[in-house]
Amino acid sequence: MPRTHSVNVPGAVITVSDRCASGAREDRSGPLARDLLAGHGVVVDEVVIVPDDVAAVRAAILAAVRAGARVVLTAGGTGVTPRDVTPEATGPLLATEIPGIAEQIRAAGLAATPLAGLSRGLVGVTSRDADGALVVNAPGSPGGVRDAIAVVGPLVPHVLEQLGGGDH
């Protein structure tokens, strides 16, 4: 059974939104993600906001991992509009996808809205060793962020333990 808390795991939250990046809309999902992750021992110093752009999203994820983040959560850009490119930015960075967690996040969202089935968010690890980071693409809505962290938060200690060579 996975533990529900780990202690001071460095994390990152990246809000992916053209409107938030331009200042046209307040970011409600990023700060919520930061606060909810803290309840699982993932420490996020600041929320980074980037536009819906493959290069910008990829650069933000890479910067977070290079800075030592072990858990990186993106919020937004997982839908089906032409500007929703977070999965395309994330996929090439993942050494291993974890589709079961992505499916759990969508299933959790479906309990509240059929729109959750439109999320194309990915979950995976950047490397299958102790330097690897867990990357989670959450929908951009506060509800989508809550669903994602409710699923992922309790799994963080186990995933990081396995990346460190721990047993199943």
Q: What is the pLDDT of residues 83-134, one digit of tens each?
A: 999 999 999 999 999 999 999 999 999 999 999 999 999 999 999 989 999 9
Please write the tens of the pLDDT for every residue from 35-62: 999 999 999 999 999 999 999 999 999 9
* Domain annotation for the chain: domains and CATH numbers: 9-163 (3.40.980.10)
Of 145, 62, 60, 133, nearest to 108 (Cα)?
A: 145
Mean pLDDT of 146-157: 97
Residue 29 pLDDT level (bands cut at 50, 70, 90):
very high
Confidence (pLDDT) at 168: 63
Find the DSSP H helices in the chain: 18-22, 29-38, 54-66, 86-90, 99-110, 142-152, 156-163
Where does the pLDDT of residue 165 fall: very low under 50, low under 70, confident under 90, or very high at 90 and above? Answer: confident
Mean pLDDT of the chain: 94
